[in-house]
Amino acid sequence: QVQLVESGGGSVQAGGSLRLSCAASGRTSSPYAMGWFRQGPEKEREFVAAINWFVSSTGYADSVKGRFTISRDNAKNTLYLQMNSLKPEDTAVYYCAASRKGYLKNLAEISNYDYWGQGTQVTVSS
């Protein structure tokens, strides 16, 4: 089992930045792909970014390319999401997710992820 705890959310003005963190515990010695999803008010949960253990490949939603950067510190068992140039439409609850697999062909497919954090709120004002 893997437990995930997000942190770093908050309220910022448009154009500002936030850095989200996801601390993993449990069976962290096994390879696993990890990603970030978000869910805004009255919206479905959507893919934001993800990173594979193998191949070191990453994937981003078109809406965040060039603004968000996903990374991981394996020594600290922590996943990060650096969010720059934030827009009001980025407002959502952000969830950290992990897959039992070390490599995912489709990083954006939500059904590929087995473990989820409780989420952290990000609010961007105009």
**CA–CA dist 79, 107 (Å, integer):** 15
Long-range contacts from 65-71, C-beta under 8 angstroms, 24+ separation: 70/35, 70/36
Distance CA 83, CA 67 (A): 6
Task: Supply the DSSP symbol for 73.
Answer: E
CA 29 to CA 65: how far, in whole Å? 30
The per-residue pLDDT for range 87-112, each reduced to its tens digit, is: 999 999 999 999 999 899 999 999 99
The reported pLDDT for the residue numbered 16 is: 98
| pLDDT higher than 90, residue 33 | yes
Element (H, E) at 92: strand 92-98
Amino acid code (one letter) for 21: S
pLDDT of residue 11: 98
39-93 confidence digits (pLDDT tens): 998 899 999 999 998 777 999 999 999 999 999 998 888 999 999 999 999 999 9
